[in-house]
């Protein structure tokens, strides 16, 4: 059975991440994980004419780096799954125009990284594809202008706000033996506990993460399989809420939990509550966590990417923010890098 | 409804996890920065009165224009948003905040062209200020007019 319990997928075949590629912006490069990214840019425009082109370049670079490492070209890939935060997923669509790989565009806000990885792994497991790449990107300036205010606008943000990560991450998945094995995935439900403040997405997303993690533990019948449970971008506000919500259900993950939004920046970087965005979980997972798994510092990790399905128009119409979280289980396989 | 109760409880329970805003310090910062901007304005006004042929009444226009120019320049070189994060209302309320909202929108939408990008979006944030400014001026003007009529 591939479906375990209600929401967990267990892949029957051995599925591996064969290669990863990450590109990141200047703030991310200065952060504690700066050295883990394959390529970093020292200015937000990445040498392009506008922000959207800069984001596109990040995604293209992450794909190129991912494929170059294993000496493959886009022609060798069967399905390209990608998404970003912009309207109509423009970054992913325009990159797909370039790559010419059969393309599945996905939107799960900041949960897209694990959504694409989970669906891609399922396609490989079922034999609909031999090799897939899953890619996500976000850019601080494109996200600011779409969801908030112009980048240079001098409005004051509260401490609960998050800072959109500039970057892109890509993973290559196939049945060929690789260093990281993808064993399970868990698909989340949309949760909404009535948070309406787009500058407090950690509070909005924590229930979605708690729901997905709790359901996954229920599905597999165990709560202590993992040496790290990492959430996407709950930040300094959402992380303690998640731990509390799970504690209320009798699950204690406090010793094993971390959040990509807290890992990517340090507290001196003036990023409010922490990092967020599609790229946050993507670059931390593909750049840092994958490395730690290869090095043997970690063995089994549950990555839960959290997404606030935020629309500025819906918020202005006084709707609350629906949120979702998808998880993927990464295990150290000890195979060739 | 159970769902409704859950939502209310959640919003109440998570308050303890939110960092507390420092209202007092924010007020002090807004006061100092806002006051400093006004001080610069005073300086510019005195400059125009002292060195050019302006009176206290007519110096207002060139003073505002100069402040707008300065704020737009600071927005263009990427400093005003940092001042805004520090000062809050202190840099948003004066005319410099208005200039910042227009310049930042114009900069942001430059990539969509001069007409549909810059010109169309320039008033995206400032438009509401103008609308309510004009409406409020109209209402206050009417009230003044009728009071004047009634008294005469």
pLDDT: is A247 or B94 the higher one? A247
Rounded CA separation A57/A329 (Å): 29
- For tokens 């005073």, name the residue: B42
**Closest-CA distance of chain A to residue B39, Å:** 20
- For tokens 């109509």, name the residue: A88
Output the pLDDT for position A335. 57
Q: Does B76 touch chain A (CB under 8 A)?
A: yes
Given a cut of 60, whether residue B12 has pLDDT beyond it is yes
Given a cut of 60, whether residue B2 has pLDDT beyond it is no
**Cβ-defined contact of B84 to A273 (cutoff 8 Å):** no
Given a contact cutoff of 8 angstroms between Cβ atoms, the answer to whether A171 and A289 are in contact is no
3 state DSSP class of A7: coil
Q: Which residues of chain A from 142 to 201 reach within 8 Å of chain B, CB to CB?
A: 145, 149-160, 193-195, 200
Q: What is the mean pLDDT of residues B47-54?
A: 92
Nearest CB among A49, A154, A236 relative to B81 is that of A154
Question: Which residues on chain A are in Cβ contact (under 8 Å) with B91?
Answer: 154
Q: Does B10 touch chain A (CB under 8 A)?
A: yes
Given a contact cutoff of 8 angstroms between Cβ atoms, the answer to whether A204 and A323 are in contact is yes
Output the pLDDT for position B152. 81
Counting one residue from chain A and one from chain B, the pairs whose CB atoms sit within 8 A come to 89
Given a contact cutoff of 8 angstroms between Cβ atoms, the answer to whether A215 and A6 are in contact is yes
Q: What is the mean pLDDT of residues A275-290?
A: 96
Least confident of A126-135, A200-209, B10-19: B10-19
Q: Does A52 touch chain B (CB under 8 A)?
A: yes
Search chain B and give the residue with CA nearest A204. Answer: B11
Q: In A70-164, which ranges are continuous DSSP H helix?
A: 90-99, 112-126, 140-147
| Strand runs labelled E in chain A | 3-4, 8-24, 39-40, 79-83, 103-105, 131-138, 163-164, 167-174, 180-186, 228-231, 257-259, 275-276, 300-308, 323-332
Retrieve residue B8's tokens.
């209310």
Q: What is the mean pLDDT of chain B?
A: 91
**Cβ-defined contact of B14 to A203 (cutoff 8 Å):** yes
The whole-angstrom distance between residue A114's C-alpha and the CA centroid of its chain comes to 6
Given a contact cutoff of 8 angstroms between Cβ atoms, the answer to whether A77 and A127 are in contact is no
The total of other beta-carbon atoms located within 10 Å of residue B53's CB is 8
Question: Which residues on chain B are in Cβ contact (under 8 Å) with A52?
Answer: 111
Task: From A192, A187, A191, select the one nearest A219 (Cα to Cα).
Answer: A187
Given a contact cutoff of 8 angstroms between Cβ atoms, the answer to whether A320 and A192 are in contact is yes
Output the pLDDT for position B131. 95
Given a cut of 70, whether residue B130 has pLDDT beyond it is yes
- For tokens 């700066």, name the residue: A34
Output the pLDDT for position B1. 42
Cα distances from A334 to residues A72, A226, A289, A295, A327, in angstroms, run 22, 17, 15, 9, 22
Length of chain A in terms of residues written: 337
Output the pLDDT for position B31. 95
**Closest-CA distance of chain A to residue B58, Å:** 29
Q: What is the mean pLDDT of residues A277-295?
A: 96
DSSP string, A221-271: T-S---SEEEESS-HHHHHHHHHHHHHHTT---TTTEEEHHHHSS-GGG--
**Closest-CA distance of chain A to residue B9, Å:** 9
Q: What is the pTM of this model?
A: 0.93
Rounded to 10 deg, the angle between the A51-69 and A90-99 helix axes is 50
Res. B19 pLDDT band, cuts 50 70 90 = confident
Question: Which residues on chain B are in Cβ contact (under 8 Å) with A51?
Answer: 111
Environment class of A25 (CB within 10 Å of its CB; exposed 0-12, middle 13-18, buried 19+): buried
**Cβ-defined contact of A158 to B21 (cutoff 8 Å):** yes
Nearest CB among A155, A157, A158 relative to B92 is that of A155
Given a cut of 90, whether residue B113 has pLDDT beyond it is yes
Q: Does B44 touch chain A (CB under 8 A)?
A: no
Q: Return the H-helix or E-strand segment holding A207.
A: helix A201-220
Least confident of A181-185, A278-282, B88-92: B88-92
Angle at B113 between CA B118 and CA B99, to 5 degrees: 15
Q: What is the mean pLDDT of residues A218-225?
A: 89
pLDDT tens profile A25-84: 999 999 999 999 999 999 999 999 999 999 999 999 999 999 999 999 999 999 999 999
Res. A224 pLDDT band, cuts 50 70 90 = confident
Q: Does A310 touch chain B (CB under 8 A)?
A: no
Q: Does A20 touch chain B (CB under 8 A)?
A: no
Q: What is the mean pLDDT of chain A?
A: 94
Q: What is the mean pLDDT of residues A328-335?
A: 87
Q: What is the mean pLDDT of residues A233-260?
A: 94
First to last CA, chain B: 61
Res. B53 pLDDT band, cuts 50 70 90 = confident
Which residues face A131 on adjacent strands?
A: A174
Given a cut of 80, whether residue A336 has pLDDT beyond it is no
């Amino acid at each position: 059975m591939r479906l375990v319990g209600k929401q967990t997928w267990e892949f029957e075949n051995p599925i591996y991440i064969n290669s990863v590629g990450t590109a990141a912006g200047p703030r991310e490069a200065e952060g504690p994980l700066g050295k883990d990214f394959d390529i970093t840019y020292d200015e937000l425009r990445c040498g392009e004419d506008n922000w959207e082109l800069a984001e596109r370049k990040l995604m293209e670079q992450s794909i190129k780096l991912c494929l170059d490492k294993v000496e493959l070209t886009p022609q060798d890939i069967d399905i390209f799954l990608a998404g970003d935060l912009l309207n109509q997923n423009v970054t992913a669509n325009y990159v797909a125009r370039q790559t010419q790989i059969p393309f599945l565009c996905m939107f799960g806000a900041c949960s897209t990284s694990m959504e694409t990885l989970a669906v891609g792994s399922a396609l490989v497991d079922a034999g609909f594809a031999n090799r897939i790449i899953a890619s996500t990107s976000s850019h601080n300036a494109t996200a600011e202008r779409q969801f908030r205010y112009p980048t240079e606008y001098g409005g004051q943000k509260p401490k609960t706000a998050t800072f959109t990560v500039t970057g892109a991450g890509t993973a290559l998945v196939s049945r060929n033996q690789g260093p990281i094995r993808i064993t399970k995935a868990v698909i989340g439900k949309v949760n909404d506990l009535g948070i309406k403040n787009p500058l407090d997405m950690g509070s909005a997303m924590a229930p979605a993460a708690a729901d997905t993690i709790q359901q996954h533990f229920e599905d597999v019948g165990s709560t202590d399989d993992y040496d790290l449970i990492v959430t996407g971008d709950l930040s300094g506000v959402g992380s303690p809420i998640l731990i509390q919500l799970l504690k209320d259900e009798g699950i204690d993950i406090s010793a094993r939990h971390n959040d990509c939004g807290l890992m990517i920046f340090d507290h001196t970087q003036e990023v409010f509550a922490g990092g967020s965005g599609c790229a946050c979980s993507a670059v931390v997972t593909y750049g840092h966590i994958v490395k730690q798994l290869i090095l043997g510092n970690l063995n089994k990790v549950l990555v839960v990417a959290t997404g606030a399905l935020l629309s500025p128009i819906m918020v202005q119409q006084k709707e609350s923010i629906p949120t979702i979280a998808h998880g993927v289980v990464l295990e150290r396989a000890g195979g060739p890098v | 409804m159970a769902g409704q109760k859950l939502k209310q409880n959640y919003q109440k329970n998570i308050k303890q996890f939110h960092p507390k805003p420092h209202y007092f310090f924010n007020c002090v910062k807004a006061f100092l920065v806002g006051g400093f901007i006004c001080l610069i304005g005073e300086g510019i006004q005195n400059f125009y009165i002292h060195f050019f042929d302006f009176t206290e009444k007519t110096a207002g226009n060139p003073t505002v224009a100069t402040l707008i120019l300065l704020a737009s320049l600071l927005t263009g070189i990427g400093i005003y948003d940092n001042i805004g994060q520090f000062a809050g209302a202190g840099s948003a309320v004066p005319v410099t905040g208005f200039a910042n909202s227009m310049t930042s929108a114009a900069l942001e939408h430059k990539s969509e062209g001069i007409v549909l990008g810059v010109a169309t979006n320039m008033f995206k944030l400032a438009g509401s200020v103008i609308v309510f400014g004009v409406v409020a001026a109209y209402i206050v003007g009417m009230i003044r007019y009728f009071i004047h009529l009634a008294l005469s």
